[in-house]
Amino acid sequence: MAQLKDDCFVGSEALTPLNEALEDLAARLSPIADVETVALSDALSRFLAEDIVAGRNVPPHDNSAVDGYAVHFDDLAADGDTRLPLGGTIAAGHPLQEAVERGRAYRIFTGAAMPQGPDTVFMQEDVTVDGDQAILPAGLKRGSNRRFAGEDIEQGSVVVAAGQRLRPQDLGVIASVGLDRVAVYKPLRAAVFSTGDEIRDPSDQAPLGCVFDANRYTVMAMLQDQGCSVDDLGILPDDETAISSALKSASASHDLIITSGGVSVGDEDHVRTAVLGLGKLHFWRLAIKPGRPVALGQIDDAVFIGLPGNPVATMVTFMRVALPLITLLAGGRDISPTCYSVASAFTYSKKPGRREWVRCRLLRGKDGVLRAEKYSSSGAGVLSSMVWAQGLVELDEDRTHLKPGDQVDFLPFSEVSK
């Protein structure tokens, strides 16, 4: 069930800073998705529901880091080469069966368990074999090329924490502690729709005054990229009864309902009226550009999100506002994407007190420095700019001027996609 505690999103004339809003979200929201146990092979990109605690050491025993010869360090001469007779052979998965004798060099392969006694391994490249003897050079330190039990993972330690979106490396480390199934959150069930007499699906004709519905496809794709199970409600007619019926039906079978445009304060819109008639709708005026008006509501157990209508604003507010919310609801814990410091290649001015995102791509100069190049237009309706761009330069509330060479925070699109 959605946990929108206390009416924390009631709108006011004041603009809310983004960080303050996200901190409020993190404190007030909890996962709404159910938990299921799946095979490790089916867990990629799912949110982990429980900590993974190691039931064993990794590696489980001391082992050799190289192909070579295992010896007792105390059998080596202090100065000069040491000659030792060869002992048995130890391969990975085949521990030495006979008792170890002092004063011998045992052939050992990478990953093979160290026998009781020998504590140091010479790399085979450094050893000369003369008949049944190994000639070992001086200079190796005690314990060289020996990996200790638990060196990678100690028994009882948390290997992967709950809330992690499982990556290939996470699955590998979980397998290394002997687990083949994990508890994960089920994907959020999301419904997406558009409204407007001027909106047409790309499969239809668009007469004069009409536009094709780009936002619905963009939002559905971004939700699918986050692992959500997405249902397309299509383009709903501008009729309050029809919209109300569709929303009521969607809320019974979905965790999340998203639309774009037409629900900001002041709009005479059937979506706004329908949502208010079925549940709660709060208007959240954020100190951001593009974007600002974001509607957050609830219909029964489903969370409703209304994004701005301009295509670029739709994408940016999804990435920086809706996505953290969706991540929390889906069971994730990391809602802060990483920005990277690069040099600016452009001049820019903005108002104080507002966070802004500038569409940019990175170019590496002959001096090796990465610089962010700005798209030629800043219009919030220029969706092609998001195709051209590789990410967004994020300018915080206090910054008002930017000149070439200044350091800026660059948010790659890869940081806000799976």
Cβ-contact 391, 413 below 8 angstroms: yes
Binned at pLDDT 50, 70 and 90, residue 381 comes out as confident
Q: Is it the case that residue 364 has pLDDT exceeding 70?
A: yes
DSSP state of 319: I
91 with 63: CB under 8 angstroms? no
Judgement on whether residues 325 and 346 belong to the same structural domain of the protein: no
Residue 165 lies in a domain: no
> Does the structure show a pLDDT above 50 at 153?
yes
In a domain, 172, yes or no: no
pLDDT of amino acid 286? 84
Residues 323 and 362 in one domain: no
- Domain end marker among 87, 121, 147: 147
The CA-atom distances, in angstroms, between 96 and each of 99, 119, 123, 148, 240 are: 8, 15, 19, 17, 79
213 and 298 in one domain? yes
Residue 111 lies in a domain: yes
Tens of pLDDT, residue by residue over 61-80, are 999 999 999 999 999 998 89
Q: pLDDT (tens digit, 9 = 90+) per residue, 194-240?
A: 988 888 899 989 888 888 999 999 999 999 999 999 999 999 888 88
Are both 198 and 321 inside the same structural domain? yes
Do residues 350 and 311 both lie within one domain? no
Whether the pLDDT of residue 36 is over 70: the answer is yes
The CATH number linked to 196 is 3.40.980.10
Q: Are residues 209 and 126 in the same domain?
A: no
Phi first, then psi, for residue 318 (nearest 5°) are: -65, -50
- 3-state helix, strand, coil split of the chain in percent (to 5) is 20, 35, 45
Listed residues 147, 175, 210: the one ending a domain: 147
- pLDDT band at 28; cut points 50, 70, 90: confident
Residue 56 lies in a domain: no
The answer to whether residues 197 and 316 belong to one domain is yes
pLDDT value of residue 267: 52
Give me the count of residues in the chain: 418
Strands 133-136 and 128-130: what pairing?
A: antiparallel
Is residue 284 located within the same domain as residue 368?
no
Q: pLDDT-derived band of residue 308, with 50, 70 and 90 as boundaries?
A: confident
Q: Are residues 299 and 382 in the same domain?
A: no
Give the pLDDT score at 266. 55
38: in domain: no
Give the containing element (helix H, strand E) for 21. Answer: helix 18-28
Asked whether residue 197 is assigned to any structural domain, the reply reads yes
Q: What is the pLDDT of residue 119?
A: 97
Residue 339's pLDDT is what?
Answer: 94
Q: Which two tokens stand for residue 47?
A: 């949110």
**Cα 155 from Cα 8, distance rounded (Å):** 43
Return the residue matching tokens 């549940």.
279
Domain, as residue range, for 204: 18-33+187-329
Please report whether residue 216 resides in a domain.
yes
Helices (H), 356-415: 384-388
- Per cent of the chain over pLDDT 70 is 95
Does residue 182 lie within any of the structural domains?
A: no
| Measured distance CA(408)–CA(410) in Å, rounded | 6
Provide mean pLDDT across the span 148-173. 97
Task: Return the higher-pLDDT residue of 410 and 280.
Answer: 410
Q: Mean pLDDT over residues 351-370, rounded?
A: 93
pLDDT for residue 285: 76
CB 321 within 8 A of CB 24: no
Question: For residues 274, 275, 277 and 281, what is the CA-based torsion angle, rounded to 10 degrees?
Answer: -140
Number of domains observed in the structure of the chain: 3
User: In one letter, which amino acid is 53?
Assistant: V
Task: State whether 324 and 212 are in the same domain.
Answer: yes
CA angle 170, 175, 179 (to 5 degrees): 115
HSE value, Cβ hemisphere, 13 Å, CA-based, for 387 = 6
pLDDT digits (tens, 9 = 90+) for 261-280: 777 655 557 888 889 999 98
- In this prediction, residues 177-184 reach a mean pLDDT of 98
Same domain? For 312 and 351 the reply is: no
- Is 197:209 a contact under the CB 8 Å cutoff? no
140: domain CATH number?
A: 2.170.190.11
**pLDDT exceeds cutoff 70 at 3:** no
Token code pair at residue 189 = 């069930």
**Cα-based torsion angle of the residue sequence 173, 176, 179, 185 in order, rounded to the nearest 10 degrees:** 10
| Start-to-end C-alpha separation, the chain | 25
pLDDT at 11: 44
Residue 412 pLDDT > 60, yes or no? yes
pTM of the model: 0.85
pLDDT over threshold 80, residue 8: no
- Statement to judge: residues 267 and 397 lie in one domain: no
Q: Which of 329, 349, 383 is the last residue of a domain?
A: 329
Q: Is the dihedral of CA 68, 69, 73, 77 positive or negative?
A: negative
Q: What are phi and psi of 8, to 5 degrees?
A: -85, -5
